[in-house]
Every structure is written in C-alpha cells, then in structure tokens.
Structure 1
Amino acid sequence: MAQGTPDNMMMNTELIKDLADVAKDVALLKGVLMRIQESPNSSELVTYAPFTLFPTPVPKAVFQQALAVQTHYNTLVDKISQDTEFLQEALASTIEVDNFTARLFQIHQQILKEGRSQSIVLGLNRSDYMVDQKDETSALKQIEINTFAASFGGLSLRTPDVHRHILKVAGRLEESGRILDNNPAAGLAGAVAKAWELYGSERAVVMFLVEESQRNIFDQRYIENELWKRNIPTARKRFNDVCKTGTLDKDKRLFVDGQEVAVVYYRNGYMPENYTSEQTWEARLLMERSLAVKCPDIGTHLAGTKKVQEVLARPGVVERFFPDQPHVVEQIRATFAGLYTLDMGPEGDKTVEIALASPDRFVLKPQREGGGNNLYGSEICQVLEGVKESKERMAYILMEKIQPTPQLNYLLRRDAPLKISNCLSELGAFGAYVRQGKDMVMNECVGHLLRTKSSEHSDGGVAAGVAVLDNPLLV
C-alpha cells in the first residue's frame, strides 16, 4: 500500500476477492449500513455503505493541521453569521442572479427586521480538504466548508474497525494498530445536547428535519441514539409535517404535530429542489422565526455559501474577523486554495480569460451543496462562453484545482465489479460549537471523515453515489 506503487498483495486477485468478501461482512456486522436505492424509506432490505477495501495513506502533518484549524473555522463561521453588513456585501452580486440564495437572504432579512427570537446558536459543520501534491510537498487545501447537514458523522464511527480487521486478515498487524478511533457522532450529539439543555424544556424534542428519501438514515440514527442515551427525545419530521402542523405560540415556541421543538436539526433544505412549493418556504420561515435553536440558523446557512468562501480569500477579509489574532489568520489562510471572482468588472473579466485559456487548472462552482454540481475542463469553457458577457456568471466562483497524488485501491460498492482504481481522497474535519448570546459555551473539533473516489470522477460525494467511505492511515 505504498503511495502510488502497487505491492504484490494489491495485485493478487484471489486474495483481494477473499478480503473483499470478509470486508463486506464485517461492514454489515459493524453497522456501516445504508438502505438500498430501490426502497430508500424501508429498512427491510439494507446493504453496506460503500467503502474502500484498504485505508488510504495520509500525511500525518496535514491530518493534524486539519483538526487543529477546525475550532478557528467554527469561530469564523459563527462570526460571519452575525455580521449582517458583511453577508450583505459578500452576497450582493450572487443574490442578483441566483434565486435560491436570494430567497434564503430574504428570510435572513426578515428575521433581522423582526429580531432574533433565540440567542442560542448551534453549529455542526465539516470543513473538507484535499492534499495538494504539485511539487513534492504536501499542502492541505480547503475545498469547502459545509455548514448545513454535514453527513457521515455516524458511519465514520464504525469504519475504523472494518479496516483494522481487514489489515489483520491481510497480515498487516502493525498498520492495523495505526488506524485511529473516530467518533464524530458523539461530539455532534454532545453539541446538540448542550443546545437542548440551554433551551430548558425537558419535554421538548430535537427535531431532525429529514429528506423524503432516507437512504442514509443509519448515519443519522447514530446521532439520535447518542441523544436518547442522554434521555433527550428526538423526532424525525419532513417539511410536509411542518407545513401541515407547524405552529408558533405567543412566545414563539415551535410546535410540530403537537410536540414542542427545542432544536431544529436540518438534514434537508440545502438545495433548491428541497423546496417543492411556496408552503415549504413558509415552513422554513416559520422555523427560523421560532424560539427553537436552529442548526444551522439562516445566517450560518448563508455563511457556508461558495461566494462567502471566495470573498474570504481576498486580502484583509479574514483579518476583519480576527483583528488581534494574526496567528489564527495565518492558520486559516494556509488552507486556502486560489479563489477568483466572476463579478462584473475588470477583475471578473480577467478571471474569465484565465479560465478559458487553461480550463484544466480550475473548477467552476455554482452556489450549491450536496455534491455533483461542479464543472471541469471543457464544461467550464461551455458555461463561461455562454455567460461571460452577462451577470449570470456571478452565480459561480472559480477555484484553482487541487492536485493530490492518486493512490491505488479497491472501491467496494453493491453491484459494482471488484477492480483496482486510481483514487483521490478528501479529508473532512467535523466542528461543533454552541454559543449563547456572546458566550461561546462549546467549540470543538469532534472527529474526521475520509472519502475516496476513482480519479475518473471529478465531483460528487458518498450520498451522490461517487465517493466511498475510507480511513486515514497516517504516514
């Protein structure tokens, strides 16, 4: 499993087949589960969540760097979410051309006008990186920060045991001992529990606002179970339930199906297609206006947009949020990849030119979450040629392409052939924080996530069916 070079074991097809069979069974034994695509809302038939046969080597220094900077990212996201003026300036051009961001921003403005009902803020996020290995060095570069429904905090608790077992069966005891424990679910649930306690009503529930299709339910169940262990009641509701039965009482307490809601944990609502009707938007506004603690609240949702990421990379912007902490600014900035504006004007025109001249150096990103939205290579040219003279281009940002070294591995997926692939990995660090008024009550890095995909796929996550779960083997 040396970087970039196959060892004999990797090429021994008989051994690999046996190991893959064992790995799938161990994944099922350990609860690394997903519902099947054919019946995403039933647990009668389940399969293993896709994963790599072997853990992927990750340089120890960059791994530690990702975990160390996470609490600063938590603080940064939280400060941005409270800075109305900054959000307005940063998103002004995007709102003009991106209807989804504009709708979210309208809700944000309405909440500001009415005054926030709740001073408790709960943030659960995941900052994602790749290791840039252009010139023999390894540099950690941020792809994005997810402030909304950051997933796989549950399943990544159980994947270390799977890889430990496989390495033992493969006779690699020393490597097996180097797989790190990881339990983001407990840390994420700890922050939810803190917010629930501060809300102060034992009868009130933590409401998971979930999608119509719930293939990834087990990942969320790990967090729910952590809450039940603490005797904190949870409920799973859809937008539809809030539309039909959601009400606010005179104190703005939120009730859904007659239950008081202490925390709204959004696992749905980050993509335009999640808002299927005007009623859905009204339900989002109702929840935002309520006394319930929102995760994320509307300001934090907007803080996670691609446009904010691009604006942060401009000189002096991170400094605005950490005026007396140059070392923090330095740690955050060290993870930035090159980001370029497509706003109207000379600077945006220049960005269009460099992108069209060498599209393979860049990624074109719309303001969307959930994987599978980014554009590469000839697609960049196609889109930019079409919008370069119009304001439509402001709906995107341009980012320098990060270039990790591909590594050989086997991606285990239900119904997919067992074959060796050139793979690229993405490292995520989970952050959890709770603020009450001006007091940061909790601010932690609560775990990590490694996802790996075949290098032929430019874009997409595990839920999108492209990447698979993995573990870092620190080198």
Structure 2
Amino acid sequence: MFDRGTDHSPSLKQIEINTIAASYAGLAERVPDVHRHVLNFWGKSDEAAKILTNNAIKGISEGIAKACQMYGSSEAVVLFLVEKVSRNIFDQRCLEMELWNKNIRVIRRQTLDVYERGALDDEKRLFVDGYEVAVVYFRTGYNPEDYHDAECWDARLLIERSKAIKCPDIATQLVGTKKVQQEIARSGVVEKYLSECPKSAERIRATFVGLYSIDEGPEGDEIITKAMEDPESFVLKPQREGGGNNIFGEELKQLLGNIKDGPKRSAYILMDRIKPQTVKNYLLHPGSALKLSECVVELGVFGVYISKCRKMIMNESPGHLLRTKSTEFADGGVSAGVAVLDTPYLT
C-alpha cells in the first residue's frame, strides 16, 4: 500500500505475504478488458490504451505446467483441493481452463475425499480415485475450520508424504504466517539471507513497517503497553489467513487488555498501522447505487516459485491484483464484500 508517512511523502509498504490459496488471478486478468471497454465506449481511447495488461493466470498456469513436467508423468493430473462450498469458484475455473488448454487434466476434490479415497504406492506416488497426482494445488487448508477432525489432518499428512508437488508444501505455507513475517522483519534477518546482495536487502527492508512480537516477556510487555496507550497506531494480527481477521482501535485495546497476562497473546503479532494515501473512486457493488467514495487501494503482486531442494527452478512475477475499498471499512477483502477488483492506471 502507499503509506503517506509522517512527512506525507508516499512510499510503498508491505502489508503481508500470502503463500497459500492466493486468489483472484483469474478475475483480475479480465478486469483490464472491462475498463478498456468502458473508456472506449465514452470515447477515451487514449486513456484506454494506458490500461495495463495483466497476465496473472497465464503465468500461474505456466508455473503449474512446469511442475507437472518436472513430475515426469504425462498421465498424472493436477488436484485442486477445494472447499465444500466455494464462493470463488469462477476464479478457480479460469486457472482450470488454462491448464486444460495445455492438455493438463484437473480434478477437484475436498480434503475428506483424499482421506477416504487417496493412497500412496510403494514409490510414494499419490493416487486419488485412481488418478495419479502430479501437483496438489491448495485452495483450502489455511483456516482452523478446514481441519475439523483427525481425518483432515491425516489427509494433509498423506499429501505431504507423497512425491506429488505441493502448492504449497507445509513449510512454504508456514512462511506466510504472521509470526514468521514478524521474525523476518527483525534486524539482520533479511541481510542474513541476502548477504551477497546488500542493496537488495536494503530495498526490501525499506518496504517494511514495524512488526512486533507480543510473546510473554519484557519485549512483548513493552509493545503491548505502547499499543494500549495509542491503539490507532497499530494493527493486531492473528495467525490467520484469508482476510477480515485484523483488529483495530478500541477493539484492539480491549483484546490486548484481556490477553496480556496469559499465553494466548502469543497467537498474535502487532504491526504499525499504515496511513494510506486516499483516492476518489466509484465502487460497483451488486444492488448498490453508485457514489463517489474516498478509497484506499492495495496492490498484490503474484509470484510463481518452484524449487527442487535448494535449487531454484522458476521465479517469476506474472501479474498483479489491485483491490480498492472505501475508507469507511478498516478491514475486509473482495470475498467479504468490502473491496472490489480494480486496475492500475499509470499517467
């Protein structure tokens, strides 16, 4: 997001990293066509020509296709691990169709389907309903509710033990947790992993805002005290994914007061609250009248990364996702009905 900072000079600041079920690539790729059509309809062809092309879903499909090629069986399929009821199925279908166009078969199954009808052979190949699985693509598995009984954990363990390529594997998923991101922000950690590229480490660190541990101990006690004294300057983040879980303002102060003397505080981190630059825009929601609103935008950059042990095979940035929401909402994404998909316009 663009942070205005104390001197009101905007700079890009990182909100978080998501390493599982990163969605809306399929729909985001189509939004530029909508905006070009609207601008051309109103005779603004010069403005329409400035709308950026977004190849997010094409790049992601190429990454999965590369993983299938590495797996080495033309008969193996890609398993989309999905929720029982998906509100975002059309976005998933965009990726599915791209893979079918590459002659890669896709099957959709739930976690319990894997438990009930999945198995490993002697070579650790994963089979589900008789299909050999080359790649498991997770669109579920990041909420506590996704593991509602022991069978779900057994299914996840079965997948992790298999030779199928995981998107993501459990280690990569954990990298996306708030606690790991907070630890990466500690002094010297980025520099440790980029010791041969100090300028890159410096550029990355410049995008960080303060991320703080509130684990039990003097360090955690000190930052909790600061946050309770000035709750508007912080965001309380639980170890959750999927959006809509962050805590602000008086609710933050009240929750910290309730958990500050016990172990439950370790389930959260604190982050400096970004003061984003605002823009005026019209947000199109079904059943709602159009009105000019004060908005903030959040830019997501999709990444495709494949590695084999410590060897990097692919590392690409195929596209982007822009979400715009009214300033009347502190938190919440597209699925929550708060934000809308948007397109960057470069002047």
TM-score, normalised to structure 1, is 0.71
Q: Distance in 2 between matches of 1:229 and 1:266?
A: 20
Q: Is the 8 A contact 1:411 1:421 kept in 2?
A: yes
Query: What is the aligned counterpart of 1:348 among 216, 220, 231?
Result: 220
Give how far 1:405 is off: 2.0
User: Which amino acid is 1:436 matched to?
Assistant: K
Give how far 1:344 is off: 1.4
User: Which amino acid is 2:4 matched to?
Assistant: Q
**Aligned 1:151-190 pairs, distance under 5 A:** 151-190=23-62
Give how far 1:389 is off: 1.4
* Deviation per residue, 1:391-449 (Å, 9 max, x gap): 21111111111111222212111122322221111000000011123321111111111
Gaps of 5+ in 1: 1-129
* Deviation per residue, 1:175-203 (Å, 9 max, x gap): 22111000100101111001100100111
User: Which amino acid is 1:141 matched to?
Assistant: K
User: Which amino acid is 2:204 matched to?
Assistant: I
CA RMSD of aligned residues (A): 1.2
Q: Distance in 2 between matches of 1:200 and 1:457?
A: 48
State the partner residue of 2:4: 133
State the partner residue of 2:278: 406
State the partner residue of 2:92: 220
* Deviation per residue, 1:262-299 (Å, 9 max, x gap): 10000000000111211111101111111110010010
* Deviation per residue, 1:46-99 (Å, 9 max, x gap): xxxxxxxxxxxxxxxxxxxxxxxxxxxxxxxxxxxxxxxxxxxxxxxxxxxxxx
Tell me whether 1:260 sits opposite 2:132 in the alignment: yes
State the partner residue of 2:167: 295
User: Which amino acid is 2:3 matched to?
Assistant: D
* Deviation per residue, 1:240-263 (Å, 9 max, x gap): 211210111111110111111010
**Aligned 1:336-415 pairs, distance under 5 A:** 336-415=208-287
Q: Distance in 2 between matches of 1:433 and 1:330?
A: 22
Moved more, 238-247 or 130-139: 130-139
State the partner residue of 1:329: 201
State the partner residue of 1:457: 329
Tell me whether 1:208 sits opposite 2:73 in the alignment: no
Q: Distance in 1 between matches of 2:310 and 2:30?
A: 36
Q: Distance in 2 between matches of 1:337 and 1:171?
A: 42
Q: Is the 8 A contact 1:264 1:292 kept in 2?
A: yes
* Deviation per residue, 1:342-375 (Å, 9 max, x gap): 0111111110011011100111000000011000
User: Which amino acid is 1:322 matched to?
Assistant: L
SS state at 1:413 partner: coil
Give how far 1:219 is off: 1.0
Query: What is the aligned counterpart of 1:417 among 282, 289, 301?
Result: 289
Give how far 1:325 is off: 1.4
Q: Distance in 1 between matches of 2:129 and 2:293?
A: 49
State the partner residue of 2:111: 239
User: Which amino acid is 1:449 matched to?
Assistant: L
Give how far 1:308 is off: 0.7
Tell me whether 1:251 sits opposite 2:123 in the alignment: yes
* Deviation per residue, 1:317-351 (Å, 9 max, x gap): 11221122101211211111111110111111110
Structure 1 or 2: more helix by fraction = 1
Q: Distance in 2 between matches of 1:372 and 1:218?
A: 21
SS state at 2:37 partner: helix
Q: Distance in 1 between matches of 2:96 and 2:202?
A: 37
Q: Distance in 2 between matches of 1:438 and 1:378?
A: 45
SS state at 2:15 partner: strand
Q: Distance in 2 between matches of 1:275 and 1:170?
A: 50
Q: Distance in 1 between matches of 2:315 and 2:277?
A: 33
User: Which amino acid is 1:467 matched to?
Assistant: A
Q: Is the 8 A contact 1:160 1:181 kept in 2?
A: yes
Structure 1 stretches of at least 4 aligned residues deviating more than 4 Å after TM superposition? none
SS state at 2:20 partner: coil
Q: Is the 8 A contact 1:196 1:262 kept in 2?
A: yes
Q: Distance in 2 between matches of 1:227 and 1:331?
A: 35
Q: Is the 8 A contact 1:370 1:464 kept in 2?
A: no
State the partner residue of 2:145: 273
User: Which amino acid is 1:265 matched to?
Assistant: Y
SS state at 1:328 partner: helix
Give how far 1:161 is off: 0.9
TM-score, normalised to structure 2, is 0.97
User: Which amino acid is 1:200 matched to?
Assistant: G
Q: Which has the higher contact order (CA 8 A, sep 6+)?
A: 1
User: Which amino acid is 1:210 matched to?
Assistant: V
Q: Distance in 1 between matches of 2:330 and 2:145?
A: 23
User: Which amino acid is 1:383 matched to?
Assistant: L
State the partner residue of 1:29: none
State the partner residue of 1:145: 17
